[in-house]
Structure 1
Amino acid sequence: MLRSDTGKLSLILLMTPFVLWIVLLILLPQLGITFVSLREKIGPRQYEFGFGNYIAFIQEPIYWNTLLRTAWMSILVTVMSLLVGFPIAFYIAKIAQRRSRAGLFLLCLIPLWVSDLVRAFGWIVLLRETGLISGALQYVGLVNGPVEMLYNDVTVVIGLVYTVVLFMIVPLVSTLDGMDNSMLEAGYNLGGSRLTVFRRIIVPYAMPGIVSGCIIVFMLTAGSYLTPILLGGKNSMWFTEQIYDQFITRYNWEAGATFGVLLLGFTSMVIWLGLKLTGQNLASTVAKD
């Protein structure tokens, strides 16, 4: 009896911080934002509840075009992160010696030692027209004048991939590390080529890690603010900038809350579609044995 009570108390003590985190920092703020988004301003400090803010969003093409553009760019960054991160994760998990894995993983963690702001300004130092790359190109004679490589979609994608690729590598390494090497040997012994083994064995086994990494990267990218704004400039057209403008510049908290709810709902729908297309679910993806 005493052991049972002790186990229950331990479980409560372990779960309490997690529950408080979910309720106080995620659930209640989101409910508050949803509440504000349903308020329609009809006069000074006069509000009524309705869906007018959502209707206004649909009726303004620049808003939902920006949302669709952000989603498309986020999907592109997710695909690029997968293409870059998968070979790195496979090398760390299956090829590198066990003693060197920790060092390789540490190298992947180095970019997280500095903030997003510092990393974004690092790219600015490299890519601006008076930056290091432009100066090097002029020095070797490949160009005749300064080259501005900032403020375009390519730069934004590169900066975002650099920022989020680690969050693709970590779940992939965790998944691939559990794959028995005998599965690969059996595939080769049965006459499979490298492409066949990769397509029929490695990818299906790594699918939970792929999906979980894609979910994390997509959500982080869609919700990113600093990198698109600093590297994309006025041409960034990122949805989080629209949210910032509504809250901070226009003091329109109702519209800003509406945009926030729509961003969460839209990205959740994209993730749901991705899970359906890949035949995965959150239970098998997040908590794979």
Structure 2
Amino acid sequence: MDKDIKRLSLILLMAPFALWILLLIIIPHVGIFLLSLREKISYKEFTYGLGNYIEFLNEPIYWNTLLRTGSMSLLVTILALLIGFPVAYYIAKVARKKSKGALFLLCLLPLWVSELIRTFGWILLLRETGVVSGFLQTIGIIDQPVEFLYNDVTVIMGLVYTVMLFMIVPLVSTLDGMDDAMVEAGYNLGGSGFTVLRRIIIPYAMPGIVAGSIVVFMLAAGSYLTPILLGGKNSSWFTEQIYDQFITRYNWESGAAFGFLLLAFTSIVVWLGLRLTGQSLATTVAKD
């Protein structure tokens, strides 16, 4: 009787989550894949094949944009890790318990504002008549207004700012469980600061590093507003190609193919990252 009650309780608890996964993830992705296989013959007449994927391969601008998006997303991930790791270590191991909550709150503040508002904030700062250009003119570094927008550097800055929290949180969670005695033992055995970092801290934090990198990379590769608004016409992002197929050309079949290719590409990159680091989803994202 008790086993039946526990089983029923587990089913009732898991049912909403399973339903959410089914309705919002599995079914939409299956639908996108099937839609991507449709080829238009004439008005309201379709057949199934790989024509949309062949069109992608035959057009260099499409797969070049995908590769460019992937490489820049990797750069965003690396920069977010380099900036976020010291912040996470300070919060987890250096800051006092009373100040940890305040520091986390500072990290959460950007998420209180929508991505659109945050992006327009960057525009106000970096445009030709913006705060940065005006300040540099005031102190005499430049003689005339300078446009800092619409380039890859600005896009990367905006994306790093947007995804930074998703790198810091898993790192803090992992580093918080590290015993301080491990670091002390490293120093007592004659290790330098760099040696302790390389041999003790980083290996222990590797699950958090991989988990944060996966989330940051996926968010950066799938971002739309930040690359479009900050990069303008000078920065091509693959999500713009997907939007163009769906909305501008009203070619839902190609748009679905492009969306599925982006998912497949990012999944392959994540899989390669897990293989290179010797980690798995069970020890990173799903770590207890």
TM-score, structure 2 normalization: 0.99
Show the counterpart of 1:104: 103
Measure the CA separation in 1 of the matches of 2:83 and 2:129: 29
Alignment of 1:228-243 (within 5 A): 228-243=227-242
Show the counterpart of 1:37: 36
Listed as ranges, the gaps of 5+ residues in structure 1 are none
Show the counterpart of 2:272: 273
Residues 87-144 of structure 1: CA distance to partner in whole angstroms, max 9, x if unpaired? 0000000000111101101100000000000000000000000001111111111111
Show the counterpart of 1:49: 48
**Aligned-pair identity (%):** 72
1:137 counterpart = 2:120 = no
Show the counterpart of 1:246: 245
Measure the CA separation in 1 of the matches of 2:218 and 2:26: 17
Residues 186-214 of structure 1: CA distance to partner in whole angstroms, max 9, x if unpaired? 11111110000000000000000000000
TM-superposed deviation, 1:287: 2.7
Counterpart amino acid of residue 118 in structure 2? R
Measure the CA separation in 2 of the matches of 1:124 and 1:86: 27
Q: Secondary structure at the match of 2:284?
A: helix
Measure the CA separation in 2 of the matches of 1:146 and 1:273: 44
Aligned residues: 288
Measure the CA separation in 2 of the matches of 1:285 and 1:250: 40
TM-superposed deviation, 1:288: 2.5
Q: Secondary structure at the match of 1:40?
A: strand
Show the counterpart of 1:22: 21
1:198 counterpart = 2:183 = no
Show the counterpart of 1:63: 62
Show the counterpart of 2:163: 164
Show the counterpart of 1:216: 215
TM-superposed deviation, 1:10: 1.6
| Cα RMSD, aligned residues only | 0.7
TM-superposed deviation, 1:241: 0.3
Measure the CA separation in 2 of the matches of 1:287 and 1:56: 38
TM-score, structure 1 normalization: 0.99
Measure the CA separation in 1 of the matches of 2:209 and 2:48: 42
Listed as ranges, the gaps of 5+ residues in structure 2 are none
Show the counterpart of 1:123: 122
TM-superposed deviation, 1:5: 2.3
TM-superposed deviation, 1:235: 1.3
